[in-house]
């Protein structure tokens, strides 16, 4: 029962046979190339287990198989059978004490973090229970994506940096019009309120990201619907997010989207461009912006060829309302 066969190395190993001693130094090959010291050896019906301490990180590790370095094949733990190295027993004892102290500190920190998270979730559960409609079948959320890709190794990935609850839905259909309706609830996603076919992504296939509204699943804000199958379970899923009040932006969710009827312009300035209050959550710039497009983009603007101005479809730049004063100063309207 203690024998294992390493297919790649084409070798059978008897785990019941001890190959290194306590206080002996071994090394990892093919991955981290770190060195370890064996501080304890235990035996059971399955064979021998070697308990290790990483000499660099002082982390604990265990190994069931340690092979001679002269027979190196692939990733694994190895010992030098021709030039064995040992640490002084007293040094190992000190290292063990330091490793134990480090592990205890990490466990204490993890427990403190668990308590903090649970306290935040407790607040979030109460908050969600108050605003979560009993008949809700979906939650409209905005997610801020970060690009974690490494194109040098053909590794493409993304992670969610923040989630914001924009509203609730009473059906399970994926409608981009519904996502656009909730976009103005949060100033960072207000620009998604305008129709833009390029922002509509349909990836309901194996390994796809479902339906989402946004420029890219890898970077920036997207809006999507999360289906509700069990109200209590969904509240638990979003409890930590809702524990931070700034992650809930559902004001005006049932109001009609007035982004297609912007108010009167706040002024005409540089290069004849017009700055308007486009909606309660956004402002827009119209005019000949070709020469200043880089500046507008740097100020957080997003170009949209299908904005509505004075009842007509018109190309322009959409900005969060928080950029209004900056734009007014830039165009000499302040």
- Residues 6+ away with beta carbon under 8 Å from 93: none
179 and 119, same domain (yes or no): yes
Q: What are phi and psi of 296, to 5 degrees?
A: -65, -40
222 and 130, same domain (yes or no): yes
76 and 134, same domain (yes or no): no
Question: What b-and-e string marks burial along 218-250, b requiring 16 or more CB atoms within 10 Å of the CB?
Answer: bebbbbbbbebeebeebbeebbbbbbeeebbbb
41 and 148, same domain (yes or no): no
- pLDDT tens for the chain, 334 residues: list them: 567 666 665 677 888 899 999 999 999 988 788 999 999 999 988 899 999 999 999 999 999 999 999 888 888 999 998 999 999 999 999 999 999 999 999 999 999 999 999 999 999 999 999 999 999 999 999 999 999 888 776 788 889 999 999 999 999 899 999 999 999 999 999 999 999 999 999 998 887 889 999 999 999 999 999 999 999 999 999 999 999 999 999 965 443 343 444 444 455 555 678 888 888 788 899 888 888 888 888 888 999 888 887 777 888 999 998 888 888 878 877 5
241 and 273, same domain (yes or no): no
pTM of the complete model:
0.66
In a domain, 77, yes or no: yes
What is the pLDDT at residue 256? 36
Rounded Cα gap, residues 194 and 307, in angstroms: 7
What is the pLDDT at residue 177? 93
In a domain, 68, yes or no: yes
In a domain, 291, yes or no: yes
Rounded Cα gap, residues 305 and 191, in angstroms: 12
Structural domain boundaries enclosing 308 = 265-330
What is the pLDDT at residue 266? 55
71 and 172, same domain (yes or no): no
What is the pLDDT at residue 12? 79
In a domain, 33, yes or no: yes
Helix boundaries (H) for the chain: 89-131, 176-182, 231-242, 293-298, 324-330
Among 179, 212, 247, the domain boundary falls at: 247
- Strand locations in the chain (E): 3-6, 11-14, 25-29, 35-44, 47-54, 60-63, 66-68, 76-79, 138-147, 158-169, 200-203, 210-214, 220-227, 265-268, 274-277, 282-286, 302-309, 312-320
Among 46, 70, 87, the domain boundary falls at: 87
Q: Could you tell me the two tokens for 96?
A: 């063990």
In a domain, 258, yes or no: no
What is the pLDDT at residue 306? 81
In a domain, 257, yes or no: no
278 and 174, same domain (yes or no): no
Contact 137, 172 (CB under 8 A): yes
Helix boundaries (H) for 20-156: 89-131
How many structural domains compose the chain?
A: 3
237 and 270, same domain (yes or no): no
What is the pLDDT at residue 154? 73
In a domain, 106, yes or no: no
Domain at 35, CATH number:
2.30.30
45 and 123, same domain (yes or no): no
128 and 214, same domain (yes or no): yes
């Amino acid at each position: 029962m203690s024998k294992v066969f390493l297919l790649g190395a084409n070798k059978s190993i008897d785990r019941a046979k001890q190959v290194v001693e306590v206080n002996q130094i071994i090394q990892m090959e093919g991955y981290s190339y770190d060195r370890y010291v064996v501080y304890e050896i235990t035996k059971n019906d399955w064979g021998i287990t070697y308990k290790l301490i990483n000499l660099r990180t002082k982390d604990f590790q265990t190994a069931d198989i340690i092979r001679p370095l002269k027979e190196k094949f692939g990733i694994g733990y190895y010992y030098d059978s021709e030039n064995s190295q040992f640490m002084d027993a007293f040094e190992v004892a000190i290292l063990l004490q330091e490793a134990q102290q480090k592990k205890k500190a990490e466990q204490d920190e993890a427990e403190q973090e668990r308590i903090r998270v649970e306290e935040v979730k407790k607040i979030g559960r109460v908050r969600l229970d108050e605003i979560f409609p009993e008949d809700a079948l979906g939650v409209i959320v905005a997610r801020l994506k970060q690009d974690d890709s490494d194109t040098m190794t053909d590794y493409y990935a993304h992670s969610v940096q923040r989630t914001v609850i924009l509203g609730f839905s009473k059906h399970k259909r994926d409608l981009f019009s519904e996502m656009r309706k909730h976009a103005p609830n949060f100033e960072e996603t207000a620009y998604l309120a305008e129709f833009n076919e390029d922002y509509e992504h349909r990836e309901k296939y194996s390994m796809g990201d479902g339906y989402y509204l946004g420029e890219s699943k890898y970077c920036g804000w997207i809006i999507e619907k999360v289906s509700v199958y069990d109200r209590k379970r969904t509240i638990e899923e979003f409890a930590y997010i809702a524990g931070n009040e700034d992650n809930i932006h559902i004001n005006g969710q049932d109001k009609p989207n007035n982004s297609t009827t912007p108010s009167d312009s706040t002024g005409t300035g540089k290069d004849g461009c017009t700055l308007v209050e486009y909606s309660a959550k956004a402002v827009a710039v119209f005019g000949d912006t070709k020469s200043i497009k880089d500046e507008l983009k740097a100020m957080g603007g997003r170009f949209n060829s299908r904005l509505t101005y004075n009842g007509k479809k018109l190309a322009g730049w959409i900005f969060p309302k928080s950029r209004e004063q900056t734009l007014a100063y830039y165009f000499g309207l302040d």
